[in-house]
Amino acid sequence: MKELVCIVCPRGCLLRVDDDLNVTGAFCPRGKQYAIREITNPVRDIASSIRVNNRPFTLASVKTSKPVPKDKIFDVMDEIAKLSVDAPTTIGQVVKQNVLGLSIDIIITKKIDLY
C-alpha cells in the first residue's frame, strides 16, 4: 500500500493506493485519477529559463509542451541548460523540438523584444 498527498486541489487529501490500484481517501474523482497516474506513470511539467544571446543579463522563460516522465526530468533539464535564443521571442515559439525523443518541445513563455 502506498500513501501520497493529492496535489490536484488545495484540500490535500491523503490517498492510499493498494496493489490493485484501488484508491481510498479521495474526496473527488480527480484525486483518484491523480493517484493512479502518480503510481503508474508519474510525470511533471518543467518550467525554466534560457539565455538570450543578444540581450545581456536577460533570460527567456521556457516550459515543456507537455509533462515529462519523472525519471527523465534531470535529462531534460540538462538539455534545457544547453539552449539559448536570440531576441525577439514570441510566446509559444519552439526553441527545441522533440527533446530526447520524448515528443516534447521546449517553448517560450514570455515575449522578449529586441531592445
pLDDT in tens, 67-90: 999 999 999 999 999 999 999 999
- Asked: is 47-108 a CATH 3.40.50.300 domain? The reply is no
Residue 94 in this model has a pLDDT that exceeds 90? yes
What pLDDT does residue 100 have? Answer: 98
What does the domain layout of the chain look like in residue ranges?
2-40, 47-108
Please give the torsion angle defined by the CA atoms of residues 6, 63, 78 and 114, in that order, rounded to the nearest 10 degrees.
-150
Grid coordinates representing 62 are 521556457
Confidence class for position 115, pLDDT limits 50, 70, 90: confident
What one-letter code names the amino acid at 65? S
Rounded Cα–Cα distance for residues 2 and 12 (Å): 16
- In the predicted structure, residue 46 carries a pLDDT above the cut 90: yes
Distance between CA atoms of residues 89 and 56, nearest Å: 15
pLDDT for res 54:
95
